[in-house]
Chain A
Amino acid sequence: MKLSRRHFVMGTSALALAAPATIARAQSDNIKFASILDLSGGLDIYGAPMAETTKLAIEDINAAGGLLGREVELKMYDAQSTIQFYTQFATQAAAGDKAATVHAGITSASREAIRPTLARFKTLYFYNTQYEGGVCDYNNFCTGSTPAQTVAKVVPYAMNKWGKKVYIVAADYNYGQITAQWMQKFVAENGGETLDVEFFPLDVTNFGPTINKIQTAKPDMVISALVGGAHVSFYRQYAAAGMLKEIPIASTTFGVGNEQKLISAEEGNGIIASYGYFEGIDSGANKDFLTRLEAKLGAGRPVMNELAIRSYEGAMLWAEAVKAAGTIDREPVIEALRSGLSYDGPSGKVTIDSQTNHCSMNVYIGELANQEWNIVESFENQPPADTQLVCDLNENPNQSTFLFENGLEAAGIK
């Protein structure tokens, strides 16, 4: 594996020769908008609705005359629930398609795989997923809600309703672990007590032993951050053991994959969750959006959740920024976004917070009845207060880190 320096010089010049061909091929009049999502494999329950709304967003932009007089062309990649494809397609979108912006990623692992690639190729990146917070990156806009926006709302609401003793169940990986830390923090801040925290690998389908433990601990409620198709089993087995009527459940993840449709009405009734979007939002923009979606996809359309709506609004935020900047070049568009740009979408008004490149947004608490969410409380214009604790891009724009990578304590949050 030994190579001389001359060798590399040769290689570099070869690449320089190859480069013009690349540029020549990329020259077409359309503005390229790349989307990389998991449309097959285990994560497609999240990715499929996101893809639909992304397509709708691009259609809407083009129907309104495109951007800067040019048509926007959607390049959609299926990462097949595999991390290596994220890096690969991000490289292809940035260096091959010369995409003006890349909207990509569902899990934090996928986002962390993409961020450095897009930073290297100086390509604007949007991450449109609800996540654990903590990304501090000038080039990366995170439009999804974070724990200070959702967990901080649902925990006190549920504790007021049900009591102070809490049992936490969460998925056994970074998102679940960090979210569980936020939950414990908010439970303590509201004068409650966390009896136990239990983590589950993503492929566990038998929750019997845990249900026994919950019965032993006798909490007032269970808060869940369980993730994925296999974990749906928890809610079913919990209800089947007669527990849901005795010890209710609040969640910060139940519903992002439209899990409420995967269990029967009586298995889900009364579950409380908090997101930046529910279908029941009573606004003209939302109703109009749902009508158009239904006209496009028919009555069998996927139920809209926060991930799907953010994918739409993320694309729209970018479009607004391009209009404001009058160009698709990265720097002016980023500046336009960071100037406090906002967009009135189906979820309400979404505003970019220039300190963190996250969004201030409306947050809703929903209660499940007959497989549908009823909004029981809403909060306007909530800032991403968690990421704001540790990240200030106004002061130092030259950052590209994920500060909660190793949990809250490592980031200096008690």
Chain B
Amino acid sequence: MDLVVAVLFQLVYGIANLALISLGLAIIFGMMRVINLAHGEFLMLGGYTVVVATNAGVNIWIAMLILAPLVVGLIGVIVERLLIRWLYGRMVDTLLATWGLSLLLIGLVTSIFGASTGTTISPPLGIIRIGDYSASGYELFLIGVTVVLFIAVWATLKLTKLGLVARGTMQNPEMSAALGVSNTRIYMITFGLGAAVTGLAGGLLAPVTGVLPTIGATYIAKAFITVISGGASILAGTAAGSILLGGVNGIFAFITGPTIGEVALLVSAIILLRLLPRGITGRFFRKSL
């Protein structure tokens, strides 16, 4: 019984983890049709922000929850102004540009901080006991944060004026421009928001993963596949994609080991896209966000 609870907990955590690393990419791809190949590096920058800030004596919670999204969001805005805004409507060119950006960011961080940077932080919040089993309290916190983050993004898009304008702009830029909305400003804010969410995710993961300049490469493929499998809706798609792929991965990883777990994730993505060529939300929950 304890084992079942412990395994279920890990399963939920795996799903939340996947959703957390994918959400920022989903916002940028879903709203702007920009495939951000530098997504992994945005996560890495979030992690670095936390490591550098805590090394300088900043409280870990401030570093993770405030500094990481702020810094990476700001970098996102700068990137949008300097690079992405020239490329709207040219999805393929954004591939090249963000690939270049990804290399640039890795190179920049390596040049500044070296191939690895020491850290002294560890996950706060102690241990939860489940009978004979134990899990990290911080993992429970991460699950909670993921849920809150989804609700926050939903509320921003659905309940605020900014969200309404943003959705309108994405659906019909000419019309919204005609109604007096500054499209370039909306694009900038959306990209910055996506980057900030990514930075937050990277910052939150900093205490549980290694933080290295090249760590982004381990996330990008998984996040990309999750977002595309989810389909056009940002939140419902990412959630559905994460639940399906993260669930399959977790179950197979527990039964057979992590390699087959990863392969199972990839195979289920292929089958999914064959059956639902426009992703999960291309068929189901079409009206959702």
Contact = CB atoms under 8 A, between A and B. Distances in A.
Interface of A: 40-42, 44-45, 47-48, 172, 198-201, 203-206, 208-213, 215-216, 229-233, 236-237, 239-243, 257-259, 261-267, 300, 302, 371
B134 A243 contact: yes
Contacts of B119: 261-264
Contacts of B219: 205
A200 B212 contact: no
B136 to A, nearest CB: 4
A267 B118 CA distance: 13
B182 interface: no
Interface of B: 3, 6-7, 10, 13-14, 17, 106-107, 110, 114-123, 126-127, 132-136, 138-139, 205, 207-215, 217-219, 250, 253-254, 257-259, 261-262
- Interface centre among A44, A203, A206, A239, by most B CB within 10 Å? A206
Given A240-B123, A241-B127, A262-B211, A198 B257 contact: yes
B18 to A, nearest CB: 9
A391 B127 CA distance: 50
A261 B122 contact: no
20 contacts: A47-B115, A200-B259, A204-B262, A209-B250, A209-B253, A211-B10, A212-B3, A212-B6, A230-B210, A232-B212, A236-B123, A239-B122, A240-B127, A241-B127, A242-B126, A261-B116, A262-B211, A263-B122, A266-B122, A371-B120
Contact of A240 (B110, B208, B213, B215): B208
A262 B114 CA distance: 13
B115 A48 contact: yes
A36 B121 CA distance: 34
Given A215-B6, A240-B138, A263-B122, 5 more contacts: A204-B218, A213-B254, A240-B123, A243-B134, A262-B118
A253 to B, nearest CB: 13
B215 A257 contact: no
A200 B258 CA distance: 6
- Which of A41, A216, A229, A239 lies at the interface centre, i.e. has the most chain B CB atoms within 10 A of its CB? A229
Contacts of B262: 201, 204
A209 B3 CA distance: 11
Contacts of A199: 257-259
A236 B262 CA distance: 21
A262 B217 CA distance: 18
B115 A209 contact: no
What 4 A-B pairs have minimum CB-CB distances, sorted nearest first?
A: A232-B210, A240-B136, A261-B118, A242-B127
Contacts of B253: 209-210
Contacts of A259: 210
